[in-house]
Chain A
Amino acid sequence: MPAMTLTEKILAKHSKSAVVEPGQNIWIDIDILMTHDVCGPGTIGVFKKNFGKDAKVWDPKKVVIIPDHYIFTADKMANRNIDVLREFASEQKLPYYYDVGTEKYKGVCHIALPEEGHTRPGEVLLGTDSHTCTAGAFGEFATGIGNTDAGFVMGTGNLWLKVPPTMRFVFDGNLPPYLMAKDLILAVIGDIGCDGATYKAMEFDGPGVFALNIEERMTLCNMVIEAGGKNGVIAPDKITLDFINAKNKHKVPFTPMYTDPGAKFAYEKVYDISKLQPVVAKPHSPDNKSFVSEVKGTKLDRAYIGSCTGGKMTDFRAAASIMHGHNVKIDTFVVPATTEVAKGLKTEKMHGKTLEQIFLDSGAKMGEASCAACLGGPSDTFGRLNQAIRCISTTNRNFPGRMGHKEAEVFLASPLTVAASAISGTITDPREYIA
């Protein structure tokens, strides 16, 4: 049998072919379909229109609905959309609906999925959100789709896909304490461009990747879409399996898969990460790369720490390690991705204080678990850029208008760089605060 990459092997296993090749169109079986409040109502509409008003989803245990985008808003239409999800979940008897205003409420779907045991190595996860690719960190094929595709999956459990060629990124060397996964992925996107991986899989490999914790691996895979990637993937190792086994409360069996020796890659690049510097993406594109040292001193109006890519415990530990004992000089918004992360901020301590207390004492504002201002949203969204101001953010996208105002400027950076910039009011290299 010809050697295949991890992505090809997962797709082959879920298709009717023993072997698949890049460029081939195949039909695959889907393990999990995820949707949320922004694309769920449209998806449900497509499903009902095409399968009938009384149709049932193909497997209620495989449809996961996680409202997270527009939650803490007075916007009536946004609240109406949650009602649509609630009604559908009840009518379809979906066991995995994480309703707003209940103890089950989670927050950002890409972080909630692994927390609740819906991600497993070797599986196929499709979601109506481009950052669904985050779950590639668990050694699975995960990608974003639209409402029509999701409506199709809801009724049938399968979908056609084109097998992507795989690009391989190898990280060698040790990650210095002033760098995070965000610096690595911003460097990659800057190097290949925000169309550099269009229609392709991005596999991350090398000792520098396997030294990262699971949350940092999620940050890498989360941002492959910013290079146009169809999916990002990291082979599962002991760190992955320990995490998955601890979360797999439904005891769903799974089969980890790995790239075959001799598999063909469409592109390979090796990075010595010990030599990299802190990186930012300047306005208005995630590939507009600079080293922090080249833009340091740039005046800022706001700092934002949150989202699926920058609102996890690892991100807040990093930010708190810098912000502890300092006051912020600009408006700083801290938004935990999920309610579980929010609990962690209230319990985990550093220098004798909870992380939340460190942020509050520094003068930062704390928001509730959700996508919040990462994608702008309704005008009353916490942290939204309602004016043409300049913000440094741990989020993943900075195209015009992404965080609200179309003339606002957004710099993307690691939580370390954002924290250092928040306490100095200008873009600041975290090395100034890390001994």
Chain B
Amino acid sequence: MSKIQDVITGKAYVLGDNIDTDQIIPAEYLTFNPAIPEEYKQFGKYALSSVPPSQSGLPKGNIPFHTDNEFVSPYTFIIAGKNFGCGSSREHAPVALDAAGIKVVVAEFYARIFFRNAVNGGYLVPFECQDRLCEKVCTGDELKLDVPNCKLHNLTTKETYPLNPLGEIAPILNAGGIFPYAKQVGMLKS
């Protein structure tokens, strides 16, 4: 990933609270090595595969994230509740969402390690919402994210939701992760 696009559009996939890393990418698939590009793709196939069906694709539930054997999901945004990415430190979690085609997660707040991994690895943009969007957005809604103004437009319902500014993580995300950032600011030799 390089500089965050100013406008990102696509469909929403909605989840609830405390979506932990075992639900995002179950431990049995951690045998793939994300440093090998062909294996990186595999994580996309199993992304979100341990979310119980009733909690998959809210508010209705029972909406699969992607069909079996697909590596990429039709969704661009994950909308979630509180404490997204809690549990283990596995970087395979943001990797799996990136490999599945997710560009942005919008949650009320994040578990610390997931947040660091998403930003420092430059996999996706973790925005925080001010309202409980997982109860306002429906899976399948078309969204348009205005990054500079921190506004999320729901093109399906015509609503607009304010998001918290990215703050201190913006330069790292814009550089594409902690390595390019450290090179940009002269902490590492490029």
Using known A-B contacts A46-B35, A399-B22, determine if residue A145 contacts B116 with beta carbons closer than 8 Å: yes
Q: Mark B23-43, 1 if CB is under 8 A from A, else 0.
A: 100111011111110000000
- Least Cβ–Cβ distance between B165 and chain A, in angstroms: 16
**A223–B184 Cα gap in the complex (Å)?**
37
B30 proximity list for chain A (CB < 8 A): 38, 69-70
B139 at the interface (CB under 8 A from A): no
Using known A-B contacts A39-B89, A130-B87, A194-B86, determine if residue A228 contacts B31 with beta carbons closer than 8 Å: no
B91 proximity list for chain A (CB < 8 A): 39, 42, 128, 146-148
B111 proximity list for chain A (CB < 8 A): 195, 198, 228
Q: Mark B49-79, 1 if CB is under 8 A from A, else 0.
A: 0111000000000000000000000000000
- Least Cβ–Cβ distance between B149 and chain A, in angstroms: 25
- Least Cβ–Cβ distance between A48 and chain B, in angstroms: 8
B28 in complex: contacting residue of A152, A228, A376, CB < 8 Å: A376
Using known A-B contacts A152-B178, A406-B52, determine if residue A146 contacts B90 with beta carbons closer than 8 Å: yes
A49 proximity list for chain B (CB < 8 A): 35
The closest CB in chain B to the CB of A75 belongs to B31
The closest CB in chain B to the CB of A196 belongs to B83
Once the chains bind, are B116 and A50 in contact (CB under 8 Å)? no
**A41–B31 Cα gap in the complex (Å)?**
10
The closest CB in chain B to the CB of A399 belongs to B20
Give the residues from 123 to 176 in chain A that come closer than 8 angstroms, CB to CB, to chain B. Answer: 127-130, 132, 144-149, 152, 156, 160
**A334–B109 Cα gap in the complex (Å)?**
37
Once the chains bind, are A149 and B117 in contact (CB under 8 Å)? yes
Once the chains bind, are B121 and A194 in contact (CB under 8 Å)? no
Using known A-B contacts A38-B90, A146-B116, A148-B178, determine if residue A45 contacts B33 with beta carbons closer than 8 Å: yes
Using known A-B contacts A147-B121, A149-B117, A198-B83, determine if residue A401 contacts B23 with beta carbons closer than 8 Å: yes
Once the chains bind, are A42 and B27 in contact (CB under 8 Å)? no
Number of residues from B at the complex interface, CB < 8 A: 41
Once the chains bind, are A397 and B87 in contact (CB under 8 Å)? yes
- Least Cβ–Cβ distance between B126 and chain A, in angstroms: 13
B132 at the interface (CB under 8 A from A): no
The closest CB in chain B to the CB of A79 belongs to B31
- Least Cβ–Cβ distance between A185 and chain B, in angstroms: 16
A25 at the interface (CB under 8 A from B): yes
A148 proximity list for chain B (CB < 8 A): 91, 117, 120-121, 177-179
B35 proximity list for chain A (CB < 8 A): 41-42, 44-46, 48-49, 147
A243 at the interface (CB under 8 A from B): no
A378 at the interface (CB under 8 A from B): yes
Q: Mark A348-383, 1 if CB is under 8 A from B, else 0.
A: 000000000000000000000000000111110000
Once the chains bind, are B83 and A50 in contact (CB under 8 Å)? no
B164 at the interface (CB under 8 A from A): no
**A50–B183 Cα gap in the complex (Å)?**
10
Number of residues from A at the complex interface, CB < 8 A: 54
- Least Cβ–Cβ distance between A23 and chain B, in angstroms: 10
A128 proximity list for chain B (CB < 8 A): 89, 91
Using known A-B contacts A147-B34, A152-B179, determine if residue A375 contacts B22 with beta carbons closer than 8 Å: yes
**A152–B22 Cα gap in the complex (Å)?**
25
Once the chains bind, are A42 and B182 in contact (CB under 8 Å)? no
- Least Cβ–Cβ distance between A267 and chain B, in angstroms: 16
Once the chains bind, are A376 and B31 in contact (CB under 8 Å)? no
**A377–B22 Cα gap in the complex (Å)?**
11
Once the chains bind, are A400 and B52 in contact (CB under 8 Å)? yes
B33 in complex: contacting residue of A41, A130, A144, CB < 8 Å: A41
A130 in complex: contacting residue of B18, B109, B113, CB < 8 Å: B113
A80 proximity list for chain B (CB < 8 A): 31
A149 proximity list for chain B (CB < 8 A): 116-117, 120, 178
Using known A-B contacts A44-B35, A49-B35, A377-B27, determine if residue A39 contacts B178 with beta carbons closer than 8 Å: no
A81 at the interface (CB under 8 A from B): yes
Apart from A148-B178, A195-B82, A406-B23, what are 14 other A-B pairs with CB-CB below 8 Å? A38-B90, A41-B35, A45-B33, A50-B179, A128-B89, A146-B117, A148-B179, A149-B117, A160-B178, A400-B23, A401-B26, A401-B50, A406-B50, A406-B52
27 contacts between A and B (CB under 8 A): A25-B168, A39-B89, A39-B91, A41-B35, A50-B188, A69-B30, A75-B31, A78-B31, A84-B33, A127-B89, A144-B89, A144-B113, A146-B90, A146-B113, A148-B120, A152-B178, A195-B18, A195-B111, A225-B87, A375-B27, A375-B88, A376-B27, A376-B28, A399-B18, A400-B22, A401-B23, A406-B51
CB-CB nearest 8 A-B residue pairs: A45-B35, A401-B50, A146-B91, A77-B31, A146-B117, A144-B89, A195-B83, A399-B20
Residues of A near any B CB (own CB < 8 A): 25, 38-39, 41-42, 44-46, 48-50, 69-70, 75, 77-78, 80-81, 84, 127-130, 132, 144-149, 152, 156, 160, 194-195, 198-199, 225, 228, 230, 285, 375-379, 397, 399-402, 404, 406-407
